[in-house]
Amino acid sequence: MGTISDSRNENEIHRKLIGNKHPKFLPSQPPLKKRKIRANRSSDPWQERFQDLIRFHIRHGHCLVPCTYPEDTTLARWVKRQRYEYKQLLKKQQQSRENGGLKKPSTSSTMNAERIKMLESIGFVWDS
């Protein structure tokens, strides 16, 4: 979070650019919250998390993201979810074999062969 002098400097810059009339930039207003913006992100959340996992792998040399990873709790939950979805896919395939493919399996999964291949290409561990 910025200091009061940082917000005043920010407000002064905005006043010079668009004038004093906009109430958003008057000194009596609290400083604007800064949002974390990630550049060059795709619109696919799965791909975004996969890129986060690749960065984790580069930094740590493995894909074993702890369940309680304080630096990126979203990534930790996503990794746990991928393992769950993989297990659901295996159950679905097993059910399909057991009923000869005649009956629709009761479990569903967002995991697919392409995602499995992508995760395994960076050393993802399914059981941990």
Extract the tokens encoding 33: 């919250």
Higher pLDDT, 41 or 35: 41
Decide if pLDDT at 81 tops 80: yes
Mind giving me the DSSP string for 80-113?
HHHHHHHHHHHHHHHHHHHTTT-S--S---S--H
Q: Are 111 and 88 in contact (CB under 8 A)?
A: yes
**Average pLDDT of the chain to the nearest whole number:** 77
Per residue in 91-125, pLDDT (tens digit) is: 988 888 887 766 665 667 899 999 999 999 999 99
pLDDT category, 43, cuts 50, 70, 90?
confident
| The pLDDT of residue 109 | 81
Tell whether the model's pLDDT for residue 26 goes beyond 70.
no
Higher pLDDT, 27 or 89: 89
Predicted local confidence at residue 124, as pLDDT: 98
pLDDT, mean of residues 19-46: 52
Q: What is the pTM of this model?
A: 0.62
